[in-house]
Amino acid sequence: MFANSRTVASAQPGPHDKLAELVARHRDATFRKPLAAYSAAAFDKAIAVWRSVGSPPLIIDAGCGVGESTLHLATQFPDHFVIGIDQSESRIVRGKDWWGDVWPENFVWVRADLVDFWRQLLAADIRPARHYILYPNPWPKIGQLARRWQGHAVFPAIVALGGVLECRSNWDVYVEEFALAVEWLSGVKPAVEVWNPETPVTPFERKYLASGHALHRCVATLPGASPTGQ
């Protein structure tokens, strides 16, 4: 039953016709949502751990789920420090007996609201060297645009953080929209491509590949990150 994931079904054949209007509105507005107390504490914890090891270049693994992608990224970039963030504590603390490689030490997992964490990074002027948003919920209904990250009020903050920003999805429209919103906000045109990973780095990536889905990604090298990621 592993390779049984359905492809994304949507009545939307291409980028949403309201995307540009929504991105511009969020760009020009101030996002005033109060921070959740648990997010503020999680941010302080993660940044304290990062600083305790000398503040190496920072990688953000946004929506890390069970944390497999965090472990892969920490292994792939041993001279960086990875913060894996997910809103579900149960996913983060779940057993990791599926990880058969050497356990990296250059990472931390925290439970936080991503919307809060991104804004706290920007407010603290902490800029990631690399930033991953891997297989977010596509919210494929036409009326769900504002729930996709590129249509969310926090998206200007995501782009403003800078660094190498990468998004992957099994829905090509999501990646196309993401790339357009990044370009409108930054002036940088992301590279968009069909993605064929040699080694899947998340459970979703593995399941989608096994189910025969086409995978897509966009990568943008944005201004704003310092050489040390801070």
Dig out the tokens for 139 from the structure.
Answer: 């919210």
Q: What percent of the chain has pLDDT over 70?
A: 96
**Mean pLDDT computed over every residue of the chain:** 93
- Asked whether residue 193 carries a pLDDT value surpassing 50, the answer given is yes
Residue 4 has pLDDT above 80, yes or no: no
pTM score, whole prediction = 0.94
Residue 147's contacts (CB-CB under 8 Å, 6 or more residues apart) are 137, 139
Cβ 31 vs Cβ 153: under 8 Å: yes
Query: Could you give the C-alpha distances from 16 to 26, 146, 167, 173, 216, in angstroms and in order?
Result: 16, 11, 18, 9, 18
Reported as a single tens digit per residue, the pLDDT across 39-88 is 999 999 999 999 999 999 999 999 999 999 999 999 999 999 999 999 98
Domain residue limits, the chain: 55-93+102-222
Interaxial angle between packed helices 19-28 and 172-186, expressed in degrees from 0 to 180 and rounded to the nearest 10: 40
Domain 55-93+102-222 sits in which CATH superfamily?
Vaccinia Virus protein VP39 (3.40.50.150)
pLDDT, position 229: 43
pLDDT value of position 199: 92
Dihedral of alpha carbons 169, 104, 67, 5, sign: positive
Which pLDDT belongs to residue 181?
98
CB neighbour list of residue 75: distance below 8 Å, 6 or more residues apart? 101, 102, 104
- Position 149 confidence tier, pLDDT thresholds 50, 70, 90: very high
The arithmetic mean of pLDDT across residues 205-213, rounded, is 94
Interval 76-132: pLDDT, tens: 999 999 999 999 888 888 878 888 888 999 999 999 999 999 999 999 999 999 999
- Please tell me the predicted confidence (pLDDT) of residue 228: 44
